[in-house]
Chain A
């Protein structure tokens, strides 16, 4: 059995190793190995001496965290609300959540300019109602980036969360209620713990995807929100210092792996 199972996996495994893992290892190795000079740590040393690149990495983490929290704040209630819908309404809600997936990320990003720009729909409405005199700057700052990233990534959080929520047996909640638990207790003692693994997995996924965002911060951030992938683009395509880019990517990968390890640990503790 074991042998046949492996032979099913083998083609994909070979493809992954040859087309994905090997180039990544080569790319990460660039920072340590220079043609004709051999082993070097110079590129990491460069990072420590001029910490500006690491500061950009720190900024990326901060923005990713904000966007992830925004995603949680919107996604959790949304998934919960969808759980309570009737079949047809639920289908429509799922379609609305998934629909943006079919639109190019670039188009969605530019669409926010139409909605949130100084002459955009929201600002025109606010000024028409007299709520504000001057246009509110939604875009070209961290808020614009957060809104854009939350929009793009919402399905990644909502779908696993929704899947976990509809699996929760209503009778569990009814049993708690019949024993006199108030709604708040039912939610925190029963409902929330049952959704926690999906919430953690979805949040982690969203956070890691945030770290690599490129188009959305470049356009909606108006160049004011430096992110690591824009910096890497400069180092790879313009300067080109692949070695430096490789060193930064390695650090980014390690940080991501550490976060993932922390999640695994929490997850195991929770299920034990």
Chain B
């Protein structure tokens, strides 16, 4: 009881302080974000944090990784130091439903033009990434997901993600469902397709680094990968056809201080500028949400970016709401499926 009243008291104190400083239109000189880490984090540093530092002197401290569980722990423990949190598409909807993030003040962000799906009430879509099919050069080239799952005509071991929300939409495509009709997802059809091929799946991957390595080692010949893990591998080939286009968002952690938010909106503004996005794309082959980005990217590398016109057109976006409603039930089926491998 004592601890609790202390926490509430501290929270009240902090928010009173926040009101005061908001009145003074203050803006933090240092804010914290939690992002997904690795090269993606480095690209945020080079593309957006450095320009912000130059223009306004605001320092941004990065931490990683960013799981929904961590966000829930942040908010429920009343922590108020972290203002920006990186979220996937369905994670953003979950976080919104759980009351873990706040609506954005788009007027304060004042962004350059963005793709419409990137401008969400609760999230700033800052980076597109794709989950696609890849194979060893020399293996027969699949033209679509039906080919990819066809063991007879495309023999070879497979490596598939150990995440049903990545995998199952590819399975229904293999069974003939077109990309624009994937949702609502026919889960039984997806598992039926999986039962057909599971004996030739060597590895169900958990970490994004696994599939590209397994392809390189010739442990498997075909794999579902994140595009950024394949583009720099000379021995591998890939295709965006039927791939899953994903968008990572930044959300504002519930209960953040107003002066932190003011500084965070400045950073989000930097993230909307195509020239900054082009800088970020030199670090990682995932791209920002400006429709004006293509001309700023190197022409010989356009084939590898998720938002390049020819690539964006052949992929699908998941129905985040569908997953939020059905995710847990699907996961139970997934665990049962894995027990019978």
Contacts and interface: CB of A to CB of B under 8 A. Distances in A.
A237 B218 contact: no
Interface residues of A, number: 27
Nearest to B336: A52
B26 to A, nearest CB: 34
Given A50-B332, A231-B335, A223 B69 contact: no
Nearest to A56: B335
Interface in A57-83: 59
A253 to B, nearest CB: 19
A238 to B, nearest CB: 6
A50 B335 CA distance: 11
Contacts of A50: 332
B203 interface: yes
Contacts, number: 68
Interface stretch (A91-99, A153-161, A239-247): A239-247
Contact of A239 (B203, B210, B328, B339): B328
B210 A219 contact: yes
Nearest to A223: B204
Contacts of A224: 204, 338, 341
B6 to A, nearest CB: 13
Interface in A216-240: 218-219, 222-224, 226, 230-231, 234, 236-240
A119 B206 contact: no
Nearest to A234: B331
A230 B206 CA distance: 10
B202 interface: yes
Contact of A241 (B91, B205, B217, B328): B328
B72 interface: yes
Contacts of B341: 224
A230 B338 CA distance: 12
B295 interface: no
A53 B336 CA distance: 8
A50 B336 CA distance: 10
B184 interface: no
A52 B210 CA distance: 27
B327 interface: yes
Contacts of A241: 328
A222 B204 contact: yes
A85 to B, nearest CB: 38
A118 B206 contact: no
A24 B72 CA distance: 17
A236 B162 contact: no
Interface in B199-254: 202-207, 210, 217-219
Contacts of A148: none
B203 A222 contact: yes
Interface of B: 67-70, 72, 91, 94, 162, 202-207, 210, 217-219, 327-328, 331-332, 335-336, 338-339, 341
Given A118-B219, A223-B338, 7 more contacts: A113-B217, A117-B217, A222-B202, A223-B206, A226-B335, A231-B335, A239-B68
Which 8 pairs show the lowest CB-CB distances between chains A and B? Answer: A223-B204, A222-B203, A237-B67, A237-B69, A223-B162, A236-B69, A52-B336, A218-B206
